[in-house]
A and B are shown apart, each in its own frame.
Chain A
Amino acid sequence: MTTVFDEKIHSTLGDSRLQLAIYKATGRLMENRKKVVADDVLPDYQELRQQAHEIKRHAINHLDYYLEEFERNVQARGGVVHWCRDGQEVADVVLSIAKRRKTGTIIKSKSMATEEIELNERLEHHGLESVESDLGEYILQLNHEKPYHIVAPALHLTRYDVADIFTKHLGLEREVVIEKQTKIARNIMRDKFLEAGIGISGANFLVADSGAVVLVENEGNARLSTTAPKVHIAVAGIEKIIPRAQDLATMLKVLGRSATGQPLTVYTSFLSSVRRENEVDGPEEFHVILLDNGRTKVLANESKRESLFCIRCGACLNHCPVYRKIGGHSFPWVYSGPIGAIITPQFHGVENQPKLAFASSLCGACGEVCPVKIDIPKVLLELRADAKEKEKEVASNQLERAAFQVFAYIASRPKLWRRLTGLAGTFNPMGKQANGMAKVPGFMKLGPLQEWLSERDLAPVAPKSFRTMWKERKG
């Protein structure tokens, strides 16, 4: 990709501890998935995949309609929908809410959309404290790292790394027992959950017919982030939309199984508004931020559009022989593995990430395990073609094109060709060197030719062309 990432790839390949960590973690996730999608435990798994694919295809193909329906349903229950083109606009929305609520502490649950726009950094820049509450994300936040894997963000760290990070950033005594490390994070977060004025979550699904945000998790931090603070803000990419709550019966079945091998994750929250009159607890404000950040661009190509069906399960990473060797940080953006290789160039422009689509052996495993049946290998090939097209555009500068036009003109006119090559023989512009080779005239030592000719001599032009000699011989 770039030199930095080439170096990252090589350092990852050369780090045997890291290689083992990636291999073991992705291997375990693969095994877990395999057990719960097997024919004898889930005979209709392929039908569910097909249904999930059709739901997403329908939703994305009519995205404008479902987003507006979603917005109406959120508003009808007293929630607010914000449309944001990029990270700056998201930060502005959060900042204005924080200012109005006079709060400086925000508790966050895991969200790839907020990683994408570096929301924590943006908020911290304005003096707010924004704390990740997912254990893995919290460790990464302390150590200023980006997620290594979509569902297992701290996959690359050992308990000893975590001990070092806690000692360095929290000033705690070294603790290497994982249960105790978890307890440390729990205790820190307890206070944060209860004091934070705002909770920010992502969204696994946005449900159009209900105006609801669906969150899937195992730790309980997303529940706490969306229940304890007075304000809940969900930040979601616009592609998260599904038409109906009943579609969740399909989507939830494939998501948990593909991600971690769980038929359902520990907590699935279906949140649709502020606390209602006949309820005891829940937030006073409910906001949903619909994030573009490059997504609308991806829609334009009907074939590559299916990249937006992704439900971020991470199965394609676990099954990718390339990801399993080069790891998550070798990819240039927060999305790694096959899905990262297809969405990064589309979000950032293929001219800016021309090599990413080539970081694949096209073995097809990613497409086979994708729970929404995105044909990732096909999209990779299309992006390769796009990258080559762009390359051609850039490479063929005008001089080169002009030179070939002249050549084509001459070469397609035999009489002209014979006359000109004949002249070359008569006048021999290149002369002869002592070694019998031609002397390359200065006018040829231009541009790319200069380098080529610096190591080579040319044969002199023959005084007579073959055609002429043939004619003379016969005559």
Chain B
Amino acid sequence: MTSREAMLKEIRTSLKRETGTPPPPPPPVRLVIPKVDRAAKVDSLLSKVAALAGKTLHASSMAEAREYVAGVIAGKSAVASNEPFLKEAGISTLPGVQCGFTEEAALREACAVTDFGISSATYALADTGSLVMISSLNEARLVSLLPPVHIAIVPAERILSGLDELYMLVPKPSDISSSMVLITGPSRTADIEQLLVRGVHGPGEIHVVVVD
């Protein structure tokens, strides 16, 4: 008997279940989606990010967002994701910014030494201040992970009220991507004496720019 067979057999014996018997329906899914208008969602997102020591900007245009990013990176090096609107807005073409990576090895090399990672986010969650990063050709996983600073540009219409709305829109993230990551503030630890230190393995600084 393989371990698989042995484990399943023991589980079924203990639970007094027959092979292949489908269970009764699970408890109904509990998704509660509040009605929140866009302005309130923007305010909530930005105030939550700020409370987590993230830097925020509510920009009225992509041009304003571009100006902000230019000021933050100030000529240092950055890697931008392949999100089309970043290019259209002239953010991924700012001086010092590399983009257009489609090969993992080259992307990894660039992200390991760069100062900033610039991305969009598929969604953002207003009630927790989270960015929702769904991996794709446009959004690589490493851009928001390896550089010490992460800058995310989020169009206001992508802000959702919270987790419940996300799981209503994306009931099975695995259908669309191998990886969906929620980012809520800068990387942190409290492992030594329960004292908060930011920037352990992920970015220690995060900027969230919401664009109307």
Say if A and B assemble together. yes
For the complex, is A453 an interface residue (Cβ under 8 Å from B)?
A: no
B179 CB within 8 Å of chain A: yes
**B158-192 interface code vs A (CB 8 A; 1 in, 0 out):** 00000110111001111101111111111111111
Residues of B within 8 A of A351 (CB): none
- A251 vs chain B, min Cβ distance (A): 10
Which residue of the partner chain B has the closest CB to A284?
A: B104
Beyond A159-B192, A182-B189, A266-B184, whether A219 also contacts B200 by CB under 8 A is yes
Write out the residue numbers on chain B whose beta carbons fall within 8 Å of the beta carbon of A24.
194
For the complex formed, measure the closest distance between the CB of B138 and the CB atoms of chain A, giving whole angstroms: 9
Query: Does A130 sit within 8 A of B, measured CB to CB?
Result: no
Q: How far is the CA of A429 from the CA of B6 in the complex (A)?
A: 63
Specify which of A28, A77, A269 lies most central, judged by the most chain B CB atoms within 10 Å of its CB: A269
Check if A272 is an interface residue, CB within 8 A of chain B.
yes
Interface positions, chain B 56-106, Cβ under 8 Å from A, are: 82, 101-104
- B128 to A282, Cβ gap below 8 A? no
Binary flags per residue of A34-64, CB closer than 8 Å to B gives 1, else 0: 0000000000100110010011001101111
Docked pose: A219 CA to B204 CA in angstroms: 9
Given known contacts A63-B15, A281-B104, A136 and B191 CB-to-CB distance under 8 angstroms: yes
**Interface size bracket, B side:** 35 or more
| Contact status A271-B178, CB under 8 Å | yes
A residues near B192, Cβ cutoff 8 Å: 135-136, 139, 154, 157-159, 162, 178, 181-182
Asked whether, in the complex, the Cβ of B135 is within 8 Å of the Cβ of A279, the reply is yes
**CA A252 – CA B189 in complex, angstroms?**
19
B83 to chain A, nearest CB (A): 12
Contacts of B10 in A (CB 8 A): 292, 296-297, 299
Q: Which residues of B contact A316 (CB under 8 A)?
A: none
B7 at the interface (CB under 8 A from A): yes
Residues B171 and A269 in contact, CB atoms below 8 Å apart: no
Q: Is the CB of B200 within 8 A of A185?
A: yes
List the A residue with the shortest CB-CB distance to B139.
A280
Contact (A281, B141) CB under 8 Å given A159-B192, A186-B201, A264-B184: yes
The answer to whether B22 and A249 touch across the interface, beta carbons within 8 angstroms, is: no
Q: How far is the CB of B23 from chain A (nearest CB, A)?
A: 4
For B182, the chain A residues whose CB sits under 8 A away are: 264, 267-268
Picked from A66, A67, A262, A275, the residue with its CB within 8 Å of the CB of B104 is: A275
B177 touching A85, Cβ below 8 Å: no
- Complex CA–CA separation, A152 to B4 (angstroms): 33
The answer to whether A182 and B101 touch across the interface, beta carbons within 8 angstroms, is no
Q: Given A63-B11, A64-B8, A249 and B164 touching (CB < 8 A)? A: yes
Q: Are A290 and B7 in contact (CB under 8 A)?
A: yes
For the complex, what is the distance from the CA of A308 to the CA of B6, rounded to whole Å? 19
List residues of chain A with CB within 8 A of the CB of B190.
152, 218, 260
Check B15–A280 contact: CB distance below 8 A: no
User: Are B191 and A154 in contact, CB atoms less than 8 angstroms apart?
Assistant: yes
Q: Name the distance in Å between A66's Cβ and chain B's nearest Cβ.
A: 8
Complex-state Cα separation, A64 to B8, whole angstroms: 6
The chain B residue with its CB closest to the CB of A273 is B178
Q: Does A397 contact B (CB under 8 A)?
A: no
Chain B residues in 8 Å Cβ range of A306: none
**Closest chain B residue to A216, Cβ basis:** B182
Hey, what's the 0/1 contact readout for B97-123 against A, CB within 8 Å counting as 1? 000011110011000100000000000
Residues 246-289 of A contacting B (Cβ, < 8 Å): 246-250, 252-253, 260, 262-276, 278-282, 286
A292 touching B189, Cβ below 8 Å = no
How far in angstroms is the closest Cβ of chain B from A307? Answer: 13
Q: How far is the CB of A10 from chain B (nearest CB, A)?
A: 25
Contact among B101, B173, B188 for A212, CB-based, below 8 A: B173
B191 contacts A139, C-beta separation under 8 Å: yes
* Contact assessment for A299 and B104 in the assembled complex, using a CB-CB cutoff below 8 Å: no
Nearest CB in chain B: distance from A250 CB, A: 6
The answer on a CB contact under 8 Å between B189 and A135 is: yes
Q: Which of A220-228, A384-392, A413-421 contacts B (4 or more CB under 8 A)?
A: A220-228
CB distance from A111 to the nearest CB of B (A): 15
**A61 CB contact (under 8 Å) in B23, B137, B179, B189:** B23
The answer to whether A61 and B173 touch across the interface, beta carbons within 8 angstroms, is no
A25-B194, A64-B8, A247-B29 known; A276+B178 contact, CB < 8 A = yes
The answer to whether A178 touches B197, judged by C-beta atoms less than 8 angstroms apart, is: yes
Query: Are A270 and B130 in contact, CB atoms less than 8 angstroms apart?
Result: no
Q: Which residues of B contact A155 (CB under 8 A)?
A: 194
| Chain B residues within CB distance 8 Å of chain A | 2-4, 6-8, 10-15, 17, 19, 21-23, 26-27, 29-32, 82, 101-104, 107-108, 112, 125, 127-128, 130, 135-137, 140-142, 145-146, 163-164, 166-168, 171-175, 177-195, 197, 199-203
Besides A246-B29, A272-B173, 15 new A-B residue pairs in contact (Cβ under 8 A), listed by A number: A58-B23, A134-B191, A152-B191, A178-B197, A218-B187, A245-B171, A252-B163, A262-B184, A266-B186, A267-B202, A269-B179, A270-B180, A280-B102, A280-B141, A299-B15
The 4 closest A-B pairs by CB, nearest first: A220-B202, A272-B174, A136-B191, A62-B23
A-B contact pairs, 26 of them (CB 8 A): A47-B30, A59-B26, A61-B23, A62-B17, A62-B23, A77-B174, A83-B7, A135-B200, A152-B194, A158-B192, A209-B172, A210-B174, A220-B200, A228-B142, A238-B7, A238-B11, A244-B29, A263-B128, A270-B179, A270-B180, A276-B178, A279-B178, A281-B107, A281-B141, A281-B142, A296-B10
